[in-house]
Structure 1
């Protein structure tokens, strides 16, 4: 998408992300989040979770990837404001969707939702500079 073509109300194509055990563990390790609930199923269960679950840094990376993939390699994320909801467990599928809510010159605000079988895993607004 180019800046002059982006309009409020434009919908980004959905991105379906299979949530695998490997994705959860690799994302936690890559972001240096060694909390046991992100890699040890037994300890996660002891703490009340049915299994390991994705950390916010992995979610943040997936949201950023989603937006930059839609707007192209020259797009620059200027602000990412997300909130977590339902956990992403192994075996889930998260579908990311986005809607442009505002355009100001070459900057767009995009409302992003990532949903799984339990509900909304992530919601937020991303401000992206779009190449002309």
Structure 2
């Protein structure tokens, strides 16, 4: 891994099931993440994804690229445009810094209405046996 390396984009279909399951799995029972009527009453056209689900998807994106031995050291993300059912989020990443086995990756995720997530992930990738670094 080197500074400037680009990660392959990952397309994530945003389904109603993904949004609701992510909210339930993270114990986020706010009605805007599972009840379309309540979301509309609060000004949203539909339910939308919570930050914990987005955080998990960003983590998956990094470990899919760097492999199962990768260790997420720090995830610092901000949300923007909401992820709603029927859209697709495309995650992209660029390695910004490398220090030994640790890299800082700039990550962004865009959907049909704009930038859903942006931030950085610090990841450590242990060398594989026999690999010189």
Q: Which runs of 4+ in 1 moved over 6 A?
A: none
| Aligned equivalent of 2:36 | 41
| Aligned equivalent of 1:15 | 10
| Aligned equivalent of 2:46 | 51
| Aligned equivalent of 1:3 | none
3-state SS of 1:42 partner: helix
What TM-score, normalized to structure 2?
0.95
The structure, 1 or 2, with the larger RCO (C-alpha pairs under 8 Å, 6+ apart) is 1
Structure 2 unaligned segments of length 5 or more: list them.
128-133
CA shift, 1:73, in A, is 0.4
Give the total of aligned pairs.
127
- Provide the alpha-carbon RMSD of the alignment: 0.4
| Aligned equivalent of 1:122 | 117
Structure 2 residue 13 is the aligned partner of structure 1 residue 24: no
Q: Deviations over 1:51-91 (max 9, x none)?
A: 00000000000000000110000000000000000000000
Counterpart CA distance in 2 for 1:124 and 1:65 is: 15
| Aligned equivalent of 1:100 | 95
